[in-house]
Amino acid sequence: MWYRLLTAADFSSLYACFLKAFSDYAVDMRMSEQQFAQRLTRDGVQLEISVGAFDDERMIGFYMNGLGDWQGKLTAYDSGTGIVPDYRGRGVAQVLFAFLVSKLKERGVSQYLLEVLTSNERAVALYRKLGFVEVRKLAVLRSERIVEPIDDFELCRLDRPDWKLFQSFWDGYPSWQNSVEAVERIPNERVMMGAYVDGACVGYGVVFRPAANLMQLAVAPAHRRKGIGTRILSALSGDGTLKVTNIDENLKGTLAFFEATGFRLVVEQFEMCKSL
């Protein structure tokens, strides 16, 4: 086996390896090649800082990495790590990670961020062994229904988000996949709605359309518990359902809101980080 940084020419091989590696994952990760490309764009994945493991010419493992500022530090983000089933248990992930870290350090990256299912005890143990520490526990939710609000509010689609205003609505901060930078990377794959009272924006929500994933939802504190958040959810969901990935479990009020509007907990993840 051998290891190297990836290039744009590896995209199709990476997609095939991704599907194989996640074929037995606890969460359904099947997606089209187009959806896979959209996911990489959202996460800021740069193939030139991503790595692959190969047996002859066959890709059998990978780390897909995004790059950007996170909490004031230049950070690499693990958008997906996978080893195809018949190559697991051979230490491929550890050797590939050591190869990756040396390349990230050369680029001045100061930390590495990832999420891992709390139920994946083997992976959690591996990451702890590699020096990762837990930052937050994140909830992944799915909707079976969305309760319709009684009151109505003026809603309109937003093309130019006012991030300074929107961040004043936040109680915490979103994960990498749902960050402001992630939203800005996908102008053609997002739908953003704003709620207005007396001409002033008092809430907003944004959905990543290819995965029906709610990236952000926030309402100004003075306008909560009036049905505004539910109204935005209803407008964004249309006739379908929504997924909510990586809600900080310390945000009890946020989790209670989603439960009340028809969402249920599917899995939990640890957000973990390692200084390089």
Say if residues 104 and 276 touch (Cβ distance below 8 Å). Answer: yes
In this structure, whether the domain defined by 2-109 belongs to CATH 3.40.190.10 is answered with: no
Q: What one-letter code names the amino acid at 224?
A: R
Residue 153: which pLDDT band, with cuts at 50, 70 and 90?
confident
* Structural domain spans, the chain: 2-109, 141-268
Q: What is the pLDDT of residue 8?
A: 97
Q: What is the pLDDT of residue 143?
A: 87
How far is Cα of residue 189 from the mean position of the Cα atoms in its chain? 15
Contact 126, 94 (CB under 8 A): yes
d(Cα 181, Cα 115) in Å, to the nearest integer? 18
* Digit-coded pLDDT (tens) for 201-251: 999 999 999 999 999 999 999 999 989 999 999 899 877 789 999 999 999
Q: What is the pLDDT of residues 140-151, one digit of tens each?
A: 999 877 666 656
Which DSSP symbol is given to 88?
A: T
CATH class as words, domain 141-268:
alpha beta
Residue with tokens 């009151």: 151
On whether the CB atoms of residues 92 and 82 are closer than 8 A, the answer is no
37-70 per-position pLDDT tens digit: 999 999 999 999 999 999 999 999 999 999 999 9
- Residue-level pLDDT at 148: 66
